[in-house]
Amino acid sequence: MVILAGGIVRSTGSGMGCPDWPKCFDRYIPPTDISQLPANYKQKYVEGRLKKNEKFAKYLESMGKAELADRIRHDKSITIPEEFNPTKTWVEYINRLVGVLAGLFLLLTFVYSFTYKKSAKRIIVLSLLNIFVVGYQAWLGSIVVSTNLAQWVVTVHMLLALVILAISIYTYNYAKQLSKTPSVIMYRILWLKGFLLFTVFISILQIVLGTEVRESVDVVAKSLASGLRDTWISKLGAIFSYHRDLAILVIICNAIVYKMVIDRFSGKAAPLLTARCILVTLLIQLLSGFALAYLAFPPAAQAVHILFSTLLFSLQFYLYLLVYRTSTYKQ
């Protein structure tokens, strides 16, 4: 839900609908009309962003990233205020509310993890770790706003979402498998384990490239005042070509994984069902990609594309965990 809401925010250009964080225009319930805002609201929120960015720049310098810090300090786009748009404001605000909802569920997961304190303390540790990662992700979300959607910050923000997903899936699977004995099959499983891990890595790389493509689209759209949508793809350059070409490798890898799975599992085995879900997810992902490339970048396809890219990663990672617990029968 959070990733879908984030995709809708990106596709509608609502990322700066709330210029401050965690409140929205300094309110817990956002305004619906410009008359509800102070006369100097543009100057006020630009100054607030600049102060936060200075703190972030010092944080980057402490990590040895002086060049990045200097780039943020001299980014002129941060000083350009956003015009108030009630629709974009509420789209971004709903995105934040969904994020809070996810945080509450992760907090409940941590609370209930103590039922495993005698049998599996790892579940407690993982549930606590995810809360810290989500907290860091929320802070990074505020940096995304204060840096006016700086490209590399958005990419890191997306990667952290994958980390949260991976920890959640691993925790779920670990708890589920506690009462089950590992599966044993008659066929060799080592090659499938290794190739699945490679496929997961390729999917992560493809998501990173996709995020870079989306950021390049933002630059092109801004330069054209959001007009001439049918020309955006042609102006993206090499990054789009890399993303498109890597999609072919993603298709090939997932097809090989599916063939390897059906050769080793049968009936209603969880790995086989998961592999089938991967194929369906991949098909929807490809269709949404074609729509973006050849149908003038429709906003609905953008949200679907980012949602199903993360679903594909999630299913692949879950399949890897299922296969990892499977061993080959030895006489």
Among residues 155, 180, 205, which one ends one of the domains? 180
**CA separation (Å) from 286 to 102, 161, 237?**
28, 21, 20
Residues 162 and 227 occupy one common structural domain: no
Cβ neighbourhood burial of 172 (10 Å; 0-12, 13-18, 19+): middle
Pick from 154, 151, 162: nearest CA to 205: 162
The size of the chain, in residues, is 331
Average pLDDT score over residue span 117-144: 90
Residues 94 and 199 occupy one common structural domain: no
Coil, helix or strand at residue 87: helix
Residue 149 pLDDT class (50, 70, 90 cuts): low
For the cut 70, the answer to whether the pLDDT of residue 40 exceeds it is yes
What one-character DSSP code corresponds to residue 84? P
Residues 188 and 236 occupy one common structural domain: yes
Residues 128 and 196 occupy one common structural domain: no
* Segment holding 264, helix H or strand E: helix 238-264
CATH number of 315's domain: 1.20.120
For residues 71 and 315, the model is more confident at 315
Among residues 163, 180, 197, which one ends one of the domains? 180
Residues 141 and 205 occupy one common structural domain: no
Residues 162 and 275 occupy one common structural domain: no
Residues 259 and 149 occupy one common structural domain: no
Pick from 165, 195, 205: nearest CA to 314: 165
pLDDT the model gives residue 313: 96
Average pLDDT score over residue span 152-165: 87
Residues 282 and 319 occupy one common structural domain: yes
pTM: 0.86
Residues 33 and 89 occupy one common structural domain: yes
Is the Cβ–Cβ distance between 167 and 294 less than 8 Å? Answer: no
Averaged pLDDT of the chain: 87
Among residues 145, 180, 215, which one ends one of the domains? 180
Average pLDDT score over residue span 30-40: 85
For the cut 60, the answer to whether the pLDDT of residue 81 exceeds it is yes
User: Tens of pLDDT along 254-284?
Assistant: 999 999 999 888 877 889 999 999 999 999 9
**CA separation (Å) from 203 to 17, 70, 310, 311?**
30, 32, 9, 11
pLDDT the model gives residue 273: 94
Extended beta strands in the chain, E state: 184-185, 327-328
User: Tens of pLDDT along 240-254?
Assistant: 899 999 999 999 999
Average pLDDT score over residue span 135-142: 84
The whole-angstrom separation of Cα 21 and Cα 35 is 21
Residues 141 and 11 occupy one common structural domain: yes
Is the Cβ–Cβ distance between 319 and 196 less than 8 Å? Answer: yes
What one-character DSSP code corresponds to residue 116? G
**CA-CA-CA-CA torsion for 178, 183, 188, 194, nearest 10 degrees?**
-30
Residue position matching structure tokens 């949508």 = 229
Residues 111 and 231 occupy one common structural domain: no
Is the Cβ–Cβ distance between 142 and 22 less than 8 Å? Answer: yes
Number of domains within the chain: 2
Pick from 105, 102, 171, 86: nearest CA to 138: 102
Can you give the residue range of the structural domain that contains 23?
A: 1-180
Residues 22 and 126 occupy one common structural domain: yes
pLDDT the model gives residue 148: 63
Residue 223 pLDDT class (50, 70, 90 cuts): confident
